[in-house]
Amino acid sequence: MTISTKISNDGKELTIKVEGRFDFNAHREFRAAYEQAKSNSTKFVVDMAETDYMDSSALGMLLLLREKVGGDNANISIVKCKPEIRQIFDISNFKHMFHIE
């Protein structure tokens, strides 16, 4: 599992890319990733193109991110999910909490 981040030049958009297994072991790194957000960061993107596996703790981490960056006003997009990952989001109905593309 590797987590990398990218902040747009104006600091407004933070992209977190998760590679490999997204599970409980990613907890610390994932938190460190979103703590890099600037004070003016308003848009968050979780890039899951290279995510092979996700468990319910990973869903929990996404909820935690949502909570930290504004709760109901958070602007978080989860992008490029593989079909298996997409299925997990479907079953959990996380589409009500995040923009899932």
Partner 1 sequence: MSPPVSESPKISEQTTQPELGCLVLVVNASKTDERVFSEFLHAEGHQVCSAQGMEQALRVYFQLKPDIVLVDLSTNVREGERIVRAVKEQDEYQFVPVLLISLQREDALLVKSMPFGADDFISGSFDADVLHSKMNAMLRLRAQFREQLNRHRELSHRHQNIIREHDRAERIFTRMLHPSVFNLPNVRHLLSPMGTFSGDFLLAAPTPFGGQIAMVADFTGHGLSAAIGALPTSNIFYGMARKGFSVRDIVVEINERLYKILPPEMFMAAGVISYEPQRSLVSVWNGGIPEIWLKANGSGLKATFASRSLPLGILPADQFDPQIERMEVETQDRIYIFSDGIIEAENLNSERFGLHTLKTIVEEAHTTQGLFNEIILALDTFRDGQEQTDDLTLMEFACDLDPVPSMGKVTASEANKPLSDWQTSLVLNGPTLRSYDPVPNILQQLVEIQGLSVHRERLYTVFSELYTNALEHGILGLDSSMKVNDEGFQAYIELREQKLEQLVNGQIEIMITHRAHSNGGRIHLEILDTGPGFDHTAPLPLLRNNKILFRRGIPLVKAICSELTYLGRGNHVVACYDWHQV
**Nearest distance from C-beta of residue 68 to partner 1, angstroms:** 9
Site for partner 1 in 3-42 (CB under 8 A): 24
For residue 19, give both structure tokens: 């590679």
User: Quick one: which of 57, 75, 77, 82 contacts partner 1 (CB under 8 A)?
Assistant: 57
Site for partner 1 in 67-96 (CB under 8 A): 67, 90-94, 96
CA dihedral 34, 67, 61, 36 (to 10 degrees): 10
Chain residues binding partner 1 by CB under 8 A are: 24, 56-57, 59-61, 63-64, 66-67, 90-94, 96-97
